[in-house]
């Protein structure tokens, strides 16, 4: 925590085209000394970092470092034992999961969790429904609000499927889509909730290099539309290529934070990834 | 064996394809024909030409009334089980709440003797049943899967035992002289009489059509998508902004309301309600009907509810080797279910999605071999 880098006003290098990252550094998500224990196991130990509006932050670490746990605490699945998480200035703990989504945080899952017996289009429509107000009564009698929201939701869903490149598959059941298409569909579904912050949990898992390159493009496009992105990944090359800043976790602790180049050269990070016997702490 | 099955299967799929591919007007005409057929069905002038369809051992119009009530219940339970994926084993309890509300508020043998007319009490019965659904759902819908099944099972038993033992609900003695629905012919004779079951059947049939239109509207909306997403993956649904608890409660309440309506219709027709009408077995039969027909599909639920209720009555009065087949109706029903689960686990008329899934699994198996 001593090595926390404070002012990455310098834009990210490593091929990221966007230069306008974090101009005013408005904090979007503050993870404030969060500790999470499961019985005797300390899954997160005093983790502390801030995510600023408009950036792509990478959350990396070796397997079992607590990346997904951190994610789950942020999206309201786990309640932190100590510390707190604030999103757009509001405390996350105590909020219901769908309220957090409505507040503007959306996520994808490490192991894909679509609605398998719904079409691709319907999957995205569920996301779009997050901000719809159609009640049971207005759906029952097909009142104007239902019709309007239904039309809007459908147009939005088609637009997003187009954006991630699987519009031609929209009437296919999501369980019948290929692995890569399913990953893209998850992103489209998450984007349909109009997020301010999009959390991607290992979106490139199982991708070949060409697919990874396409995904990088997609993530940059998403950022360019004004959405802040938090990316969990353990493929270092992918992370280096797209993120503005990186936070590194190991055994539930933050061991480094900074620009990609700094993190890459940080001896603790190298040790964590390569297993060099190094006790510098 | 398999080739025959395959052929039947592909034939059915072709029929489904043709139905979906047919022009709109063809579908409307066919639908109108089916509806007209069912309106005509309880007339003796019509059903006497239908060969083995009329039941030999029971008044066919009475049977058709029972069948229609089961269809209504299956449509309601299909919302809860088929769409929202909540295993409700006590659905008949809501039917009982509807029937008893009517009985208590209209019958002269009730303790409170309000003697209200039937038509006034029906909306009240639906509202009360919905309320009982919300009351049961609020604490229990936090449970998932098997746990929910056990609690709902307990609910139905509570209603039944309350009916048996509470003085207010009259137990076995029951409520008599429950008024019929209103309406008179020009000559002053009541439209809904004691002997002729046809008007009641027509009434239920009309209400089924209205309920089905309503349920269809719901399932083609945000509400239906929320229900299906909850069935598919409740956690993912929550994280995509679906207020899952609220929509599960709505599924429960809508299902309950339909059961309450069915209960009120039953009471208005039967004009007598006692605790023997509400055995646990009924809940199981309706659930079996929904699964038999194809859960998650409205047409499947209708066909399932209709066929199951009809088959049970069809055995009445048939003797085979000196045994009355009706005595063995549940044995036969059970056998049919088992065979069904082996050869067509997705139900008679499955949800398109389920069908696709099971077909895929077959392909996977073949590839695996």
CA distance A249 to A269: 9
Interface check B20 vs A, CB under 8 A:
no
Buried b / exposed e along A75-104 (16+ C-beta atoms within 10 A): bbbbebeebbbbbbeeebeeeebbebbbbb
Query: 3-class DSSP state for residue A193?
Result: coil
Q: Is the pLDDT of residue A9 over 60?
A: no
CA distance A222 to B72: 48
Q: What is the pLDDT of residue A20?
A: 45
Q: Do A193 and B357 touch (CB under 8 A)?
A: no
Nearest by CB to residue B225, choosing from A97, A114, A125, is A125
Q: What is the pLDDT of residues A149-186, one digit of tens each?
A: 999 999 999 999 999 999 999 999 999 999 999 999 99
Residue with the larger pLDDT of the pair A76 and B355: A76
Q: What is the pLDDT of residue B348?
A: 83
Q: What is the pLDDT of residue A17?
A: 43
Q: What is the pLDDT of residue B44?
A: 86
Contact status, residue B213 vs residue B207, Cβ threshold 8 Å: no
Extract the tokens encoding B359: 């077909």
Q: What is the pLDDT of residue A18?
A: 43
Contact status, residue A67 vs residue A232, Cβ threshold 8 Å: yes
Q: Do A126 and B235 touch (CB under 8 A)?
A: no
Extract the tokens encoding B362: 């077959």
Torsions phi, psi for B184 (to 5 deg)? -130, 150
CA torsion sign for A121, A122, A123, A125 is positive
| Best to test chain A binding among B215, B240, B255, B358 (most A CBs inside 10 Å) | B240
Buried b / exposed e along A182-214 (16+ C-beta atoms within 10 A): bbbbbbbbbbbbbbbbbbbbbbbeebeeeebeb
Task: Give chain A positions within 8 Å (CB) of B239.
Answer: 75, 77, 97-98, 101, 106-107
| Best to test chain A binding among B84, B216, B221 (most A CBs inside 10 Å) | B221
Mean pLDDT, chain A, whole residue set: 86
What value, to the nearest 5°, has the Cα angle with vertex B29 and ends B27 and B32? Answer: 105
Query: How many interchain CB pairs under 8 A, A with B?
Result: 104
Extract the tokens encoding A122: 């319907």
Q: What is the pLDDT of residue A2?
A: 42
Nearest by CB to residue B239, choosing from A101, A116, A141, is A101
Q: Do B236 and A114 touch (CB under 8 A)?
A: yes
Complex ipTM above 0.90?
no
Distance from CA of B239 to the nearest CA of A (A): 6
Residue with the larger pLDDT of the pair A93 and A160: A160
Distance from CA of A274 to the nearest CA of B (A): 35
Contact status, residue B188 vs residue B280, Cβ threshold 8 Å: no
Binned at pLDDT 50, 70 and 90, residue A26 comes out as confident
Q: Is the pLDDT of residue A21 over 80?
A: no
CA distance B183 to B195: 16
10 Å Cβ neighbour count for B113?
11
Q: What is the pLDDT of residue B94?
A: 95
Q: What is the pLDDT of residue B120?
A: 94
With CA atoms as reference, the chain A residue closest to B360 would be A176
Q: What is the pLDDT of residue B5?
A: 64
Q: What is the pLDDT of residue B70?
A: 96
Under-50 pLDDT residues of chain B: 366-369
CA distance A143 to A146: 5
Which domains are assigned to chain A? 1-104+195-281 (3.40.50.300), 118-193 (no CATH)
Q: What is the pLDDT of residues A204-233, one digit of tens each?
A: 888 998 999 999 999 999 999 999 999 998
Window 66-105 of B, Cβ < 8 Å to A: none
Q: What is the pLDDT of residue A280?
A: 47
Domain ranges across chain B = 56-279
Q: Do B225 and A176 touch (CB under 8 A)?
A: no
Report which of A125, A175, A115, A170 is spatially closest to residue A149, judged by C-alpha positions: A125
Q: What is the pLDDT of residues A46-66, one digit of tens each?
A: 999 999 999 999 998 888 888
Extract the tokens encoding A29: 């998500």
Interface check B213 vs A, CB under 8 A:
no
What's this model's pTM, rounded to 2 decimal places? 0.87
Task: Give chain A positions within 8 Å (CB) of B351.
Answer: 117
Contact status, residue A66 vs residue A249, Cβ threshold 8 Å: yes
Torsions phi, psi for B12 (to 5 deg)? -65, -40
Q: What is the pLDDT of residue B352?
A: 62
Q: Do B244 and A98 touch (CB under 8 A)?
A: yes
With CA atoms as reference, the chain A residue closest to B229 would be A115
Q: Do B241 and A125 touch (CB under 8 A)?
A: no
What value, to the nearest 5°, has the Cα angle with vertex B317 and ends B313 and B320? Answer: 110
Q: What is the pLDDT of residue B145?
A: 76
């Amino acid at each position: 925590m001593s090595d926390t880098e404070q002012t990455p006003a310098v834009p990210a290098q490593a091929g990221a085209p966007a230069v306008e990252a974090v101009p005013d550094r408005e904090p979007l998500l503050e993870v404030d000394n969060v500790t999470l224990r499961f019985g005797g196991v300390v899954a997160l130990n005093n983790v502390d970092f801030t995510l600023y509006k408009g950036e792509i932050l990478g959350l990396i670490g070796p397997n079992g470092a607590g990346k997904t746990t951190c994610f789950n605490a942020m999206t309201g699945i786990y309640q932190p034992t100590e510390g707190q998480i604030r999103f757009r200035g509001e405390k996350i703990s105590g909020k219901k999961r769908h309220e957090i989504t409505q507040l503007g945080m959306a996520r994808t899952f490490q192991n894909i969790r679509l609605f398998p017996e719904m079409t691709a289009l319907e999957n995205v429509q569920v996301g779009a429904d997050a901000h719809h107000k159609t009640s049971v009564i207005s759906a029952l009698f097909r009142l104007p609000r239902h019709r309007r929201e239904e039309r809007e939701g459908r147009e939005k869903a088609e637009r997003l499927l187009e954006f991630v490149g699987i519009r031609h598959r929209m009437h296919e059941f999501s369980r019948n889509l290929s692995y890569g298409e399913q990953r893209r569909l998850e992103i489209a579904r998450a984007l349909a909730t109009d997020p301010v912050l999009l959390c991607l949990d290992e979106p490139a898992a199982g991708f070949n290099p060409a697919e990874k390159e396409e995904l990088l493009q997609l993530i940059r496009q998403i950022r360019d539309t004004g959405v802040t992105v938090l990316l969990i990944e353990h493929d270092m090359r992918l992370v280096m290529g797209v993120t503005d800043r990186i936070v590194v976790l190991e055994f539930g602790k933050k061991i480094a934070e900074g620009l990609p180049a700094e993190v890459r050269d940080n001896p603790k990070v190298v040790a964590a990834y390569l297993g060099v016997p190094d006790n510098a702490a | 064996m398999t080739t025959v099955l395959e052929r039947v299967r592909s034939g059915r799929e072709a029929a489904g394809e043709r139905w979906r591919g047919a022009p709109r007007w063809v579908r409307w005409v066919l639908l109108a024909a089916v509806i007209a057929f069912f309106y005509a069905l309880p007339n003796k002038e019509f059903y006497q030409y239908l060969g083995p369809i009329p039941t030999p051992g029971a008044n066919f119009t009475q049977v058709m009334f029972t069948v229609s009530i089961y269809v209504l219940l299956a449509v309601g339970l299909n919302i809860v089980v088929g769409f929202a994926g909540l295993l409700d084993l006590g659905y008949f309890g809501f039917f009982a709440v509807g029937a008893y509300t009517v009985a208590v508020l209209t019958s002269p043998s009730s303790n409170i003797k309000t003697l209200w007319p039937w038509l006034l009490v029906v909306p009240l019965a639906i509202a009360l049943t919905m309320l009982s659904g919300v009351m049961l759902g609020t604490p229990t819908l936090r449970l998932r899967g098997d746990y929910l099944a056990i609690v709902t099972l307990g609910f139905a038993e509570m209603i039944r035992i309350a009916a048996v033992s509470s003085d207010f609900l009259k137990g076995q003695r029951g409520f008599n002289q429950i008024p019929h629905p209103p309406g008179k012919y020009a000559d002053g004779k009541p439209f809904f009489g004691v002997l002729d079951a046809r008007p009641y059947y027509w009434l239920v049939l009309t209400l089924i059509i209205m309920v089905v239109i309503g349920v269809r509207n719901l399932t083609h909306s945000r509400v239906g998508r929320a229900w299906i997403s909850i069935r598919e993956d409740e956690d993912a649904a929550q994280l995509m902004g679906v207020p899952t608890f609220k929509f599960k409660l709505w599924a429960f309440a809508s299902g309950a309301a339909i059961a309450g309506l069915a209960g009120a219709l039953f009471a208005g027709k039967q004009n007598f309600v006692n605790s023997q009408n509400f055995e646990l077995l009924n809940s199981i039969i309706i659930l079996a009907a929904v699964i038999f027909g194809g859960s998650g599909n409205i047409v499947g639920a209708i066909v399932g509810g209709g066929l199951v209720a009809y088959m049970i009555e069809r055995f009445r009065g048939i003797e085979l080797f000196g045994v009355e087949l009706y005595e063995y109706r549940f044995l036969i029903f059970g056998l049919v279910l088992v065979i069904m689960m082996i050869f067509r686990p997705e139900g008679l008329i499955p949800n398109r999605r389920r069908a696709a899934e099971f077909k895929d699994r077959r392909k996977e198996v073949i590839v695996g071999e």
